[in-house]
Every structure is written in C-alpha cells, then in structure tokens.
C-alpha cells in the first residue's frame, strides 16, 4: 500500500517528556552552544525542541590558560589520529576540559527571563551545579533552583557529571556516589515546582545503580551521557600532549562520534532496569540515525553538543537534518501505523541480552562460561540459553 501525500504529512514530531511538551525530541545539551542568551534564542529560531543552559553554579570558575575544547580527527589512509586540522580527515571526537559557566547567577537570571518571554512555548532547562559537602552547599542547590524557576525555567538538569572537578563533593564525584545523588536530588525536589532531571556520569561500573538512587530520591528523568574521562594523545614528534598548558594536562572529557556506542551501552543498562521511567540520551549524535538508536532503547528525548559546536555554534544544519530525518522515518514506516515517537520508542530495549542468550552455530549450547548443568539440576545462572527465543 502506498502512502498518500496527506497521510505522509500527518506525522507528529512533538513529544511529551516529564510532563513538558517539546515540538520535537531534539535538544541542545548543556555546553558552549547554550552559554549565552543570543545562542539560545538562535537555537530556538533554528528549530531545536529544547535547550539546556550551560551549567550555572555559585562557586568561582576560572578556566585553563589555553584552548578549552579541540576535535580529534582520523585519517582513513594513514590511520593517524590527531587534533591537528588537516584535509581529508573524519571527526573522531571532541576533547574538552572546560568548566561550567563562568557567568554568575545574577548574569543568568534576567537572560532566562528574557528568553522565556521571547519563546514562551519553547522548553528551556536550567542546568545547575553546587557542592554537596555541607548544609551551606546544599542550600546553594536550592538557591540556584529557586532563582531559575522564578525566572521561568521549565525544568532543571542537575549536573552530577562534570568530569573536571577536583572537589570530591561536586560534579561527577557526586554522580559516582549513590548517597550524595540521593541527598542532592531530594534537596532540589524540596523546592522544585518543575521537573528535575539528573545528568549522571558514565564513569561508573553500573549506572543503573545511580539511576536507581536518583529515581528513589524523586528524579523525573535521567540524562546520559556526559563526556567520558580521557586524555588527549601525545604528539610523536614533540612528545607533548596535543592539548596542554605548560606541558601539563589533566583528565578531560571525550564527546562526539567516538562515544556513541559506549553511551548507548550505558543507556541500555538503565532503560532495561527502568523501562517505565524517562531518559534523555546524549553522546555522538549528529544525525537522525544516531538519535534513533537512543529512541529505540527507550529514550523520550535526545541531546546534542559536539555536532552543534561544529555547525555555526548552535547546529542549524544539524537540527534541520534531525527533524527531516525523523519525518522521513515516520513516513517510511507509516504502513506500520507509526505517527509519532511513542509508536516506536523502546522497541529494541529488550534485544540487549546476556552473552549466553545469543544463538550459537549448529545448535551448540553455551552456559556463560560455566559447565553444562548436569542431570535435572536447574541451570545455576538465569542466563541459560534460550535458543528458540533468539529471533
Ligand atoms: C566544551 C564542552 C563543554 C561542556 N560543558 C558542559 C556543562 O557545562 N554541563 C554539562 O552538563 N555538560 C557539559 N558538556 C557535556 C555535553 O553536554 C555532552 O553531554 C557531551 O559533550 C556528549 O555529547 P556529544 O557527544 O554530543 O558531544 C560539555 C561538553 C563540551 C564538549
């Protein structure tokens, strides 16, 4: 059956996520593209369904004396991977050691107000971050939250994931500690009148544990991934890190295409344990096929940073391609009755299984590295093969 023109345009890109309506599920993530009023306004004009502000804090911020972000590129012929700009290379990743916004809360609040006045129907999420080591620090979370929501922010994203903090009670150090996650989330929920999203660090063993702590404390959604801990490569000629200040480097964050598969794995760990909860996927997205992987695992929105940074600072071409890609995808699947994200969200979540559940050739069986169960004894692991289930 061919789809008529009228049916083809009946697709709906809008989504409702944590009770908020977005014109499409594509958001600019908290990063340089969202660090100013003019960028955020341009992003809404370009068609982004939502914007998460660059993280706002109350503590002093001073960035390193050198570039804060660079892009790693690979050469398909020589296999060389380097930050040096050169023709014929493909983007591998972004590497950054940029701290949160160096603008004060007093700088941000009137701007949030003006952005929301200009774009009342667009979703503006305030990313916030404070410490967690004392009552004063915890009150800072509440101060940030109340200020931003009074200025008109539609939701909060708690930055529990910044990988560049020396402080043990901040950023990804909070995201690595289920107890601190719980305390911080509860403190913000006490004052929040809008949804609270927790942005977790991917630098833990089982991110579902931190997601569980967030949800138990009242989080409305989990956002993942922030950048992955990493170092820039060392240049073979100079023997210096390709990005350094006075020869020194510290662990920074990897984003962009390289982290897509890793970030999908983190997302899958969480959506399997919490199939009915809300998730926003980030990591390596630059076109709809990338976004689709997150949506098929169960995400209700996705966010973009690196691809937008490389596209006129706020990604006008990227958002156009994302919207067009989703429209084309829904039109191509109209015969299945799909009209919006809810018709296909999460349909590949359960295809991620333990290794022993993957079919072996020639009907051979595999018990996850254990001996075959003997006699009538029940298999000692729940992951015993179920060959007939593998479709
Ligand atoms: C230069 C730079 C600055 C960033 N700053 C923040 C930030 O302030 N707060 C935050 O939550 N994430 C921050 N991020 C992380 C991004 O929001 C995003 O989670 C990460 O880059 C992965 O997405 P991508 O693969 O699309 O780049 C930053 C990323 C980059 C590259």
Task: Give residue 320 CA to ligand 1 midpoint distance, Å.
Answer: 21
> Which residues make beta-bridge pairs with 63?
none
Across 70-75, average pLDDT: 97
Closest protein CA for atom 6 of ligand 1: 31
* 100 CA closest ligand 1 atom index: 8
Residue nearest to atom 15 of ligand 1 (CA): 226
What beta strand segments (E) does the chain contain?
15-17, 20-22, 26-28, 50-52, 56-57, 69-74, 81-82, 90-96, 123-129, 155-160, 196-200, 221-224, 228-230, 252-255, 279-282, 301-304
Confidence of residue 387 (pLDDT cuts 50, 70, 90): very low
Cβ 259 under 6 angstroms from ligand 1:
yes
Check if the beta carbon of residue 290 is closer than 8 Å to that of residue 316.
no
Q: Given the CA of residue 309, which atom of ligand 1 is nearest to it?
A: 31
Nearest to 347 by CA among 322, 329, 324: 329
Q: What is the pLDDT of residue 365?
A: 87
User: Which pTM does this prediction carry?
Assistant: 0.94
> Cβ neighbours of residue 205 under 8 Å, at least 6 residues apart?
none
- Angle, CA of 105, 228 and 75, to the nearest 5°: 120
Report which ligand 1 atom has the smallest distance to the Cα of 54: 8
Nearest-CA residue for atom 21 of ligand 1 = 255
Name the residue of 202, 253, 322 to mutate for ligand 1: max ligand atoms within 8 A of Cβ: 253
Relative to the CA of 285, which ligand 1 atom is closest?
26
- Asked if residue 264 has its Cβ within 6 Å of ligand 1, the reply is no
Alpha carbon 335 to its chain's center:
31
Query: Residue 140 belongs to what H/E stretch?
Result: helix 135-151
**Contact predicate 133/168, CB 8 Å:** yes
Domains and CATH numbers, the chain: 5-64+98-350 (3.20.20.70), 357-391 (no CATH)
Can you read off the two tokens belonging to residue 77?
A: 């012929």
Q: How far is the CA of 304 from the centre of ligand 1 (A)?
A: 8
pLDDT, residue 375, reads 66
Output the DSSP codes for 45-91.
HHT-SEEEPSPEESS-----SS-SEEEEEE-TTT--EESS--TT-EE
284 lines ligand 1 (CB under 6 A): yes
E-strand stretches of 214-300? 221-224, 228-230, 252-255, 279-282
pLDDT per residue as tens digits for the range 300-312: 999 999 999 999 9
Q: Band of the pLDDT at 390, cuts 50, 70, 90?
A: very low
| CB-based contact 160:198 (threshold 8 Å) | yes
Range 209-223 average pLDDT: 98
For ligand 1, is residue 94 a contact (CB within 6 Å)?
yes
pLDDT at 10: 83
Angstrom distance (rounded) from CA 372 to CA 388: 18
Task: Check if 227 has its Cβ closer than 6 Å to any atom of ligand 1.
Answer: yes
Distance in angstroms (rounded) separating the CA atoms of residues 245 and 154: 38
pLDDT of residue 389: 31
Return the active site residues.
162
Q: Six-digit token pair at 201?
A: 């660090």
Distance from residue 391's CA to the centre of ligand 1 (Å): 37
Average pLDDT over residues 327-350: 98
Q: 364 pLDDT band (50/70/90 cuts)?
A: confident
Atom number, ligand 1, closest to the C-alpha of residue 305: 26
Q: Which long-range contacts (CB under 8 A, 24 or more apart) does 6-13 make?
A: 7/334, 8/331, 8/334, 10/339, 11/326, 11/327, 11/330, 11/331, 11/334, 11/339, 11/340, 12/330, 12/339, 12/340, 13/49, 13/323, 13/326, 13/327, 13/330, 13/340, 13/341
CA–centroid distance, residue 378 to ligand 1 (Å): 47
User: Which residue's CA is the nearest one to ligand 1's atom 3?
Assistant: 31
Residue 374, pLDDT score: 77
Question: By mean pLDDT, which of 19-33, 155-169, 216-230, 361-375 is the weakest?
Answer: 361-375
**60 alpha carbon – ligand 1 mean position (Å):** 19
Q: What is the best residue among 255, 281, 291 to mutate for testing ligand 1's pocket, by most ligand atoms within 8 Å of CB?
A: 255
Atom number, ligand 1, closest to the C-alpha of residue 94: 31
Percentage of the residues of the chain whose pLDDT score is greater than 90: 90
What pLDDT score was predicted for residue 9? 54
Ligand 1 pocket mutation pick from 26, 30, 127, 322 by most atoms within 8 angstroms of CB: 30
* 220: Cβ contacts below 8 Å, ≥ 6 apart: 18, 19, 155, 195, 196, 197, 278
pLDDT at 376: 57
What are the backbone angles phi and psi of residue 123, rounded to the nearest 5°? -90, 120
């Amino acid at each position: 059956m061919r789809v008529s023109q009228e049916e083809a345009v009946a697709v709906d890109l809008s989504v409702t996520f944590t009770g908020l309506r977005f014109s499409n599920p594509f958001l600019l993530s908290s990063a340089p593209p969202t660090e100013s009023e003019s960028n955020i306004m341009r992003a809404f004009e370009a068609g982004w369904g939502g914007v998460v502000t660059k993280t706002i804090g109350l503590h002093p911020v001073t960035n390193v004396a050198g570039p804060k972000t660079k892009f790693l590129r690979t050469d398909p012929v020589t296999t060389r991977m380097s930050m040096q700009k050169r023709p014929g290379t493909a983007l591998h990743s972004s590497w950054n050691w940029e701290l949160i916004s160096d603008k004060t809360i007093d700088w941000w609040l009137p701007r949030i107000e003006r952005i929301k006045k200009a774009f009342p129907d667009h979703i503006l999420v305030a990313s916030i971050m404070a410490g967690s080591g004392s009552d004063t620090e915890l009150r800072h979370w509440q101060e940030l939250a109340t200020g931003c929501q009074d200025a008109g922010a539609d939701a909060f994203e708690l930055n529990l994931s910044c990988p560049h903090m020396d402080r043990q009670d901040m950023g990804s150090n909070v995201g690595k500690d289920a107890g601190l996650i719980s305390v911080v989330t509860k403190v913000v929920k006490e004052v929040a009148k809008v949804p609270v999203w927790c942005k977790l660090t991917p630098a833990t063993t089982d991110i579902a544990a931190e997601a569980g702590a967030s949800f138990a404390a009242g989080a409305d959604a989990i956002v993942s991934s922030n950048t992955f801990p990493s170092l820039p490569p060392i240049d073979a000629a100079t023997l210096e890190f390709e990005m350094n200040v006075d020869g020194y480097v510290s662990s920074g964050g990897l984003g962009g295409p390289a982290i897509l598969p890793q970030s999908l794995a983190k997302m899958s760990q969480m959506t399997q344990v919490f199939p009915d909860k809300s998730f926003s996927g980030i990591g390596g997205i630059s076109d709809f096929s990338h976004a689709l992987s997150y949506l098929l695992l169960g995400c209700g929105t996705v966010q973009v940073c690196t691809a937008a940074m490389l596209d006129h600072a706020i990604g006008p071409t990227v958002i156009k391609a994302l919207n067009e890609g989703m429209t084309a995808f829904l039109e191509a699947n109209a015969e299945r009755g799909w009209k919006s994200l809810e018709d296909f969200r999460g349909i590949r979540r359960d295809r991620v299984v333990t290794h022993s559940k993957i079919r072996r050739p020639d009907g051979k069986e595999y018990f996850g590295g254990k001996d075959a169960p003997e006699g009538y004894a029940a298999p000692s692991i729940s992951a015993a093969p179920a060959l007939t289930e593998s479709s």
